[in-house]
Amino acid sequence: MNNINLIYVPMNKLKTTTVGVYIHRELNKDDVSKNAILPYILKQGSSLAKTPEEFSKYLENLYGAALKAGVVKFGNDQVLRFEAETISDKYAPCGERLTNDLVRLILSVIFEPVTQDGGFLKSVVDIEKNNLKTRILSEMNDKRTYAMHRCIEEMCAGEAYAISANGTIDGIDKFDEKSLYDYYKEAIVSSVIDIYVCGDADTDSIRALIDDTVSGIDFKPAKITATELHTSDSDVKFTVDKMDVTQGKLSMGFRTGISPSDKDYFALMVFNSVFGAGAHSKLFNNVREKLSLAYYASSALVKPKGVMVVNAGIEFLNYQKAYDETLAQLEEIKSGNISDLEYNSSIQSIVNTLTSYSDLPEQLHNFMAGEKVYGTNYDIEHLKSEILKVTKDDICRVAQGIALDTVYFLKGKVEE
């Protein structure tokens, strides 16, 4: 037995084949930094390409195939993710079997790292520790995303989801090349590993490559960590950070009380679209177009946590105006003021996005991974048919249950 699931989605119209590997780990304080560094260390050397230079040359010889490593979170599930893409074999000028060569490299990166004296190479771990520190610290560089993350961090304080997928600075000093390798050995046999292949591939030969690589490994039972909804009965929390910035970033976190497996999940998606997801939405048309307060004003769902966050970039002095208008627009929906245009555009917009996944392999496997983690496993067609059934009354009902939870404001050190 092994924990590896191979999911093949034929997309013959494309000229490339994409491979997405998702290694599912539990998001928790003790392991987060180790999980966050592992993909980067694994990429630095494996049985097939022992040094970064060999690794790069290997990919260049596959017509510049790409292999990105990184880490993301879906609720309390922290995913070590590898995303690779090569031109499909039928476009290889000399008949090379590019997909197989790429899969071989990925498997060696995941299962056959370069080691020394029972650990990873110290030189590699030291460099990647520094790079991870830089990544954590540079979360503040993109103020728009940073403000949203800070809002969620304040909102979910004490819950696993408040932890950044990049890990923590403290956590980095708690392991070395040996203890990290011990952790890796345990993690690799006790994690659910999903491999998505989208494009034009020979699955039999990919499966054979996988079986060949893992035949000697003893896997342990593994499962994907569940995520709890964010709940709270305390008053609205307010947090302000100050930085040297010229534009303020307002981030408002709301509880929706709806999880992906809830029957109101579809209505929540449509609600979010009406409220703030796109140029048809209430936030765009009122905060931006009517009041000229912002260049962007939008809402987004953190689906597994039942959370919605509103983001806007505004003048510091317009804080109260933007805050009031956001809540006023929510009240509009609560009292049933949804125009036909807002309603139809929202449904169309979601259906359009879902339909477009069939051309976009990375988005598609990201979507499928999300559905798997949420435990819903909805396929695109089912989701579309449920979205089409949502009524204005459903949207209004969902809105009634939405409550402001946390307000975050990033402002300048000097008031204008």
DSSP 8-state symbol, 286 = I
Point out which span in 8-16, 183-191, 371-379, 395-403 binds another protein (CB under 8 A): 8-16
Considering the complex, what minimum distance in angstroms separates the CB of residue 394 from another protein? 20
The mark string for 45-84 relative to another protein (x by CB under 8 A, - otherwise) is -------xx--xx--xxxxxx-------------------
**What six digits make up the tokens of 114?**
């370069």
Q: Of the candidates 266, 328, 270, which has an alpha carbon nearest to the alpha carbon of residue 297?
A: 328
* 5, 10, 15, 377: which one binds another protein (CB under 8 A): 15
Considering the complex, what minimum distance in angstroms separates the CB of residue 174 from another protein? 21
**What six digits make up the tokens of 12?**
């013959």
Please answer whether residues 228 and 234 qualify as being in contact, where contact means their C-beta atoms are separated by less than 8 angstroms: no
Please answer whether residues 92 and 57 qualify as being in contact, where contact means their C-beta atoms are separated by less than 8 angstroms: no
Site for another protein in 198-227 (CB under 8 A): none
The mark string for 240-279 relative to another protein (x by CB under 8 A, - otherwise) is ---xxxxx------------------------------xx
Q: Of the candidates 127, 113, 243, 136, which has an alpha carbon nearest to the alpha carbon of residue 184?
A: 113
Site for another protein in 307-366 (CB under 8 A): 313-315, 341, 344-345, 348-349, 351-353, 355-356, 358-360
For the chain, the straight-line distance linking the first and the last C-alpha, in angstroms and rounded, comes to 64
Considering the complex, what minimum distance in angstroms separates the CB of residue 195 from another protein? 20
Q: Could you give the C-alpha distances from 110 to 78, 105, 113, 163, in angstroms and in order?
A: 16, 9, 7, 25
**CA atoms within 13 Å, Cβ hemisphere of 100:** 15
Point out which span in 147-155, 175-183, 258-266, 294-302 binds another protein (CB under 8 A): 294-302
Residue 241 or 394: the one with the smaller Cβ distance to another protein is 241
Residue 259 or 298: the one with the smaller Cβ distance to another protein is 298
**Tokens 């009902």 map to which residue?**
397
* 13, 95, 170, 235: which one binds another protein (CB under 8 A): 13
Summarize the chain as % helix, strand, coil (round to 5).
50, 20, 30
What's the angle, vertex CA 313, arms to CA 308 and CA 318, rounded to 5? 105
Neighbours of 117 (CB within 10 A): 9
Residue 8 or 296: the one with the smaller Cβ distance to another protein is 296
Q: Check binding of 288 to another protein (CB under 8 A).
A: yes
Distance CA 168, CA 129 (A): 11
Buried b (16+ CB within 10 A) or exposed e, 119-135: bbbeebbeebbeebbeb
Instruction: Tell me, by CB under 8 A, how many residues bind another protein.
Output: 67
Residue 60 or 324: the one with the smaller Cβ distance to another protein is 60
Q: Check binding of 40 to another protein (CB under 8 A).
A: yes
Please answer whether residues 267 and 394 qualify as being in contact, where contact means their C-beta atoms are separated by less than 8 angstroms: yes
Distance CA 364, CA 24 (A): 18
Considering the complex, what minimum distance in angstroms separates the CB of residue 120 from another protein? 15
Residue 57 or 389: the one with the smaller Cβ distance to another protein is 57
Residue 306 or 313: the one with the smaller Cβ distance to another protein is 313
**CA atoms within 13 Å, Cβ hemisphere of 350:** 29
Distance CA 124, CA 317 (A): 48
Q: Is 216 left (phi over 0), alpha (psi -120 to 50) or beta?
A: alpha
Residue 62 or 302: the one with the smaller Cβ distance to another protein is 62
Q: Check binding of 385 to another protein (CB under 8 A).
A: no
Residue 59 or 214: the one with the smaller Cβ distance to another protein is 59
Site for another protein in 99-158 (CB under 8 A): 123, 127, 130-131, 134-135, 137-144
Asked whether the CA dihedral 46, 50, 51, 54 is positive or negative, the reply is negative
Residue 4 or 84: the one with the smaller Cβ distance to another protein is 84
Considering the complex, what minimum distance in angstroms separates the CB of residue 278 from another protein? 7
Point out which span in 150-158, 201-209, 226-234, 290-298 binds another protein (CB under 8 A): 290-298
Residue 66 or 236: the one with the smaller Cβ distance to another protein is 66
**What six digits make up the tokens of 169?**
């600075």
Residues interacting with another protein, by CB under 8 A? 12-16, 40, 52-53, 56-57, 60-65, 85-87, 91, 93, 123, 127, 130-131, 134-135, 137-144, 243-247, 278-280, 284, 288-289, 292-296, 313-315, 341, 344-345, 348-349, 351-353, 355-356, 358-360
